[in-house]
Structure 1
Amino acid sequence: MKHALVFQSDFGLSDGAVSAMYGVALKVAPDLKIYDLTHDIPPYNVWEASYRLVQTLGYWPEGTVFVSVVDPGVGSSRRSVVVRTRTGHLVVTPDNGSLTHVHALYGIVAVRLLDETKNRLAGSELSYTFHGRDVYAYTGARLAAGDLDFDAVGEALPLESLVQLPMVPAQKDGDIVSGTIDALDVRFGSLWSNIPYKLFEDLHIPYGGRVEVSIRNDTREVYRNTMVYARSFAEVNVGEPLVYVNSLLHMAVAINQGSFSRAYNIGTGLSWKITIRRAPKIVYE
């Protein structure tokens, strides 16, 4: 049985790199179904690659093979791996941290070292800079086509040997929940935090209630304001900020029909911290 093959990279679509990966996969099995997750990961941004994988993987059928190529260490001693997730998906990728979020949210149950001397496109042995085509797309296609078993990829590796990017878990302290801004809803500029809804729920704030949001970059506060906790953007006026539950069931901040990230020049990563609490009552005398 053949499975879907899904590509992700930082290659963009302005040249032939992605097309070459398609070509290699279709040479392995002309009837493979190949899809794109995204090829617009910012160059070399392993954190973004890790997040976009976890944003998407769980919605694909069991058995789907993902090939994720954001590989600033290509040609170095960094390892290549294939992993099986608890959800039954396979991911082919460099071992550079791009599996961090998948491991944390879905769980990885088995890891195989991808032997690049055996699992590569014939005739590509002298190429050291395009493993996305020569190793990852080729191996991913063989896995998806059923021509290669997971256990035959290479030797088994311990889970704890996988490279993991540092993460700061969200937490609740009294009437405040806090976390980091992990990613942007790129096209619309919303801020996606790592604060799960279940943690926010403990604040017992109803829809339509007001919350206070503070955003800091390291030690500098760059934003503080009160806003509505809403089900959707339509529940606030155009141009008004809101807190909502995003598609990954984490807390997010947005401007209705505007870009929050551009409006306040806010980025992502561990240095960007966010806190949410019930808005304090204002007493007028």
Structure 2
Amino acid sequence: MKKFLVLQSDFGLDDGAVAAMYGAAYFTAPEITIHDLTHGIEPYNIFQGSYRLFQALTYWPKGSVFVSVVDPGVGSQRKSIVAKTKSGHYVVTPDNGTLSHIAKYVGLDQVRQIDEAVNRLPHSQDSHTFHGRDVYVYNGALLAQDNAFFESLPIQLDLSELTYLDLGDPVVSEEGIQGTIDILDIRFGSLWTNIPLETLQANNIHQGDYLEIVIKEHGQERYREQVLFGRSFAAVAIGRPIAYVNSLIRLALGINQGNFALGYKIGTGNQWTIHIKKVKGA
């Protein structure tokens, strides 16, 4: 049975940091198999790191280990932790909010603390700014080699005491449905929202309907148009916007063979809200 270690960071691939993590992992556990989730997280963007874990984690076999290093507090008093999810996967990461989406949408079973003075790459004790290599991938490799390593970490943490980001939920009112634009389908510039398909269906919104869509930044309107809620991009002409259900079964907004985010200068985060309602008579 293959032993998977999946890496994510905001390090990029322009220097040797990711290669050093690979080397440390293979030095620690030569029989594991290492893959990359992404190393293109925007620097210091913990929310993106949290979301990308949610996007990918459950599609991997149970027992797979994810190391996520988006760690603006490296070397500080923030905890280093290992989480076992209710889906049977493991995440090694700082306790800085990176587990937020997994906690909300997948569920956490247990979380244990890593003793950074003990559980670290040999001879790395004088390094305090590269815990991705010295702490996280080292412990991740041991865990991927044998999931029983999790039980050897003696400090179990109360789930309620972990750091969580404010993810929010869609709000339904007489005015329609309000959600947030959480993240982009980066290469194509589509907007992924936090509004699940079941919320649309519960409010009598179905594919083939037209929606009035308003996007605001900090309450200021940035976009307004009536858009088809379609099955896929091909339901509209090239260059036209479309609302659709993305791969995580949530409402998304894109342009057929275009880039919505760039075209309309739309960003992501809780300050970017999307307001939708069904167009009467459509």
The TM-score, its normalising length taken from structure 1, stands at: 0.96
Q: What does residue range 102-141 of structure 1 map to in structure 2 within 5 Å?
A: 102-141=102-141
Alignment of 1:156-171 (within 5 A): 156-171=156-171
Distance 2:154 2:45 in 1: 27
Larger deviation, residues 125-134 vs 160-169: 160-169
Counterpart secondary structure, 1:221: strand
**Which residue in the other structure is 1:256 paired with?**
256
- Alignment partner, residue 72 of structure 1: 72
Once residues 78 and 113 of structure 1 are traced to their aligned partners in structure 2, the CA distance between those partners, rounded to angstroms, is 11
- Matched with 1:199 is 199
Matched, 1:42 2:31: no
Q: Please report how far the alpha carbon of residue 153 of structure 1 lies from its aligned counterpart in structure 2 after TM superposition.
A: 2.2
- Match of 1:84, SS state, is strand
1:81 aligns with: 81
1:33 maps onto 2:36 in alignment? no
Partner of 2:241: 241
Q: Would you say the 8 A contact 1:119–1:153 is kept in 2?
A: no
Aligned to 1:10: 10
**RMSD over aligned Cα, in angstroms?**
1.3
Structure 1: which 5+ residue stretches go unaligned? none
3-state SS of 1:165 partner: coil
Q: Does structure 1 residue 208 correspond to structure 2 residue 208?
A: yes
- Distance in 1 of aligned mates of 2:47 and 2:215: 20
Residues 45-56 of structure 1: pairs in structure 2 closer than 5 A: 45-56=45-56
CA distance in 1, matches of 2:178, 2:51: 19
The 2-side partners of 1:205 and 1:148 are apart by: 47
2:234 corresponds to which letter in structure 1?
Answer: A
Distance 2:30 2:19 in 1: 14
Quote the offset at 1:29 in angstroms: 2.0
**How many angstroms does 1:3 deviate by?**
2.2
2:200–2:206 CA contact under 8 A, matched in 1:
no
Moved more, 162-171 or 140-149: 140-149
- In structure 2, C-alpha distance between the alignment counterparts of 1:211 and 1:6, rounded to whole Å: 39
3-state SS of the aligned residue for 2:63? coil
Q: Secondary structure at the match of 1:7?
A: strand
Structure-1 residue corresponding to 2:58: 58
- State the distance in 2 between where 1:207 and 1:273 align: 22
Q: Does 1:144 align with 2:144?
A: yes
Q: Find out whether 1:176 has 2:179 as its counterpart.
A: no
**Residue 147 of structure 1: CA displacement?**
7.5
Following TM superposition, the consecutive aligned residue runs of length 4 or more in structure 1 with deviations greater than 3 angstroms are none
Residue identity matched to 1:127: S
- Distance, in Å, in 1 between the alignment partners of 2:34 and 2:148 is 17
